[in-house]
Amino acid sequence: MPHNPAQPSSSTFVGMESLSEPPIQCASPPVQPDQPRLPPLNRPARADERSRWRWLRDRFAYDAISVFASAVVHTIVLITLAYFVWPEAETEPFQVIVAPIADNSAPDLLDPIDIIPDISAHDEAPNVLMDKPVEVQMPDAPNIPSPLAAPKAAPVNSRPADIAWEVPQSVLMIANDAPFGGGFEGRTQEERARLVSQRGGTPGSENAVELALVWLAEHQRQDGSWRLDHQKGSCNARCGNKGSTATSTGATALGLLPFLGAGYTHKQGKYQKVVEEGLYYLTGRMIETRHGGDLQEGTMYAHGLATIAICEAYAMTGDPELKTYAQKAIDFIVHAQHPRGGWRYLPGTPGDTTVTGWQVMALKSARLAKLYVPSHTTEMAKEYLNKVQDAGGAFYGYQVSGKDPAPTAVGLLLRMYLGWRQSDELLGRGSLFLSNRGPSKTDMYFNYYATQVLAHRGGTAWRIWNDDMRDYLVDAQARSGHEAGSWFFTDRHGSFGGRLYTTSISAMILEVYYRHMPLYGEEAVEDEF
Ligand SMILES: [Zn+2]
């Protein structure tokens, strides 16, 4: 498999901003040729491999020292405390279970982007006091076990599981409507067919998805990438409406995600080679930093999209070759978070709702893949949403409190994934705002998020929305010439992202029935109980 990852023609990525905010040109440093890159998928270069192992070994040593020091200090403290509080009449010898516990007391004097991850400071460290049962919090958005999920044992980069997302499914079913789904189990051909008929898809919508995949496959570059300027290569400008923004990682993720969403991976299905080449390109573009694997090529938009693609591919196949890349991309997101919880174009800068949306969805994909995501990262994301919400959380703004359509759709979807219940009154108010607007004729970015919000919430509002959205997209798909199978709508996002972006996000809207399992309710529970 040839691999010649070309440098992007530019490192500016401005696509897909909120409608409420003017596009922001993010000047970004050009990718330096001597920046360390991870070896591409299936192509471990010996020198790079040694470098990677040294990096992992150094980090492990750092973490091990932290764990050991924490354990020693806390053991001494506990023994001292036990000496004072243990009843003298007690004759049975007591045991102290020694375990590292979180040390959250250290003042945070560093910029978050400069902090090396401390895996000893894990939120769910064992309770060290005797044999009291560990108190397990209800999860933010736990997932049901996936038959496609990655194997638990992993030789590289293994980290402690996050207990908050590991609560048994039976516990979650107890008379509540808390979220528990959202996984990738619907992405098998059998489940896909069942969910399409059950959740409102049609043979026409499925045909549109398959036609879109054909178009996407035909517009993949020889190096495995996609570009928002889709006209080079075999297209030879036979399709119009190329994008104006350059990002090879973001565009390649947009190319890959509809395949993964429909159940096609590099291990199964008729698009194995397409997906493999795309993943190969993406992983080859990862730049190794001490904060994780950087796929930005300019902005966190592209990094978030690329991370979702790698995490989904890993979660769906369990391919151990992808695990390190997925974890390192997630680590980069963790470190790029602003202290007030959001993400924006550049790491560590105050957040906006749309960039934050992609990062939180990447974190969710990572949790589904059993990768390590610190709980404080998702907790801080909630803090960000609190900052930009309006009317108590029914509506959301772009960077400040507001009631903007696309940010509200993003904000509500994140609220669902972060733990809001299906019956939440604020979720109901916000959903009504979205459904009353109806699907946009041109803004697929708004439609993409609003469709997911309303699909997860269900009910009559969803059925009305879905009938309009689905049939509009099926009718609007190009049916002739080289453009057949693609979409383009004239709006700000379309002009930045072009036909590739529009086709990708439109296909994912039509994959809503199975791309993520329902977050709530009977639909997902029926088959399990
Ligand atoms: Zn074309």
Q: What is the 3-state secondary structure (H, E, C) of 218-278?
A: HCCCCCCCCCCCCCCHHHCCCCCCCCCCCCHHHHHHHHHHHHHHCCCCCCCCCCHHHHHHH
What's the whole-model pTM score?
0.71
| Residue boundaries of the structural domains of the chain | 38-44+51-135, 189-525
Q: Can you give the pLDDT at residue 36?
A: 64
Q: Can you give the pLDDT at residue 195?
A: 95
Distance CA 221, CA 350 (A): 35
Q: Can you give the pLDDT at residue 64?
A: 53
Å from CA of 236 to ligand 1 middle = 7
Distance CA 179, CA 176 (A): 9
Check residue 526 and report its DSSP letter.
T
Å from CA of 449 to ligand 1 middle = 27
Å from CA of 486 to ligand 1 middle = 9
Distance CA 413, CA 450 (A): 8
Q: Can you give the pLDDT at residue 182?
A: 87
Å from CA of 237 to ligand 1 middle = 6
Mean pLDDT, consecutive 10-residue stretches, the chain (529 aa), reads 40 37 38 57 46 46 55 58 42 32 30 29 29 31 33 34 37 58 90 95 98 98 96 91 91 98 97 98 97 95 98 96 98 98 97 98 95 96 98 98 98 96 95 98 97 95 97 98 96 90 98 93 38
Å from CA of 510 to ligand 1 middle = 21
Secondary structure (3-state) at 289: strand
Å from CA of 406 to ligand 1 middle = 29
Å from CA of 270 to ligand 1 middle = 21
Å from CA of 482 to ligand 1 middle = 5
Give ion ligand 1 contacts, CB < 5 A: 235, 238-239, 482
Å from CA of 466 to ligand 1 middle = 29
Q: Whose structure tokens read 């791309």?
A: 515
Å from CA of 484 to ligand 1 middle = 9
Å from CA of 233 to ligand 1 middle = 9
Q: How many CA atoms lie within 13 A of 417 on its CB side?
A: 29
Class for the domain spanning 189-525: mainly alpha
What is the DSSP secondary-structure string of 417-473? HTT--TT-HHHHHHHHHHHHH---SS-HHHHHHHHHHHHHH-HHHHHHHHHHHHHHH
Å from CA of 481 to ligand 1 middle = 8
Q: Which tokens is 313 given?
A: 């591919």
Q: Can you give the pLDDT at residue 31?
A: 43
Å from CA of 87 to ligand 1 middle = 79
Å from CA of 230 to ligand 1 middle = 7
Candidates 117, 118, 81, 123; CA nearest to 102 is 123
